[in-house]
Amino acid sequence: MADNYCVNVEGAVYRDGAYLIGERAMEESHAGGQRSLIGGTVESDVPATAALESTLQREIREETTVEIEAKRCISRVGSSKQTMVTE
């Protein structure tokens, strides 16, 4: 039996001394109405070699119309969380 899992990404976009922060819709089941980083779920048809970067770019573009270039991905050893840094 194959394992089922979900991978989510969130991005901190920083420019000219300010961060881009989103506000979740009130209808959201998790943290509705709260401010948060922009992100979303990696889709199954995304090539694994660039899944985090392309998902983050897509989600930020869809939710804010802002185009970003993901510069590097920082991974913490022993953690399932990864942080995408844009410069």
CA–CA gap between residue 68 and residue 76 (Å, rounded): 23
- Contact present, 42 and 51 (Cβ < 8 Å): yes
Q: Which two tokens stand for residue 12?
A: 């901190």
User: Topology of 8-86 in CATH?
Assistant: Nucleoside Triphosphate Pyrophosphohydrolase (3.90.79)
- Contact present, 60 and 68 (Cβ < 8 Å): yes
pLDDT of the chain, 87 residues: tens digit per residue: 566 777 888 888 888 999 889 998 899 888 889 998 888 888 888 877 778 888 889 999 999 999 988 666 655 434 455 554 444
Q: Other C-beta atoms within 10 Å of 62: how many?
A: 10
Reported pTM: 0.70
Q: Which two tokens stand for residue 44?
A: 């199954």
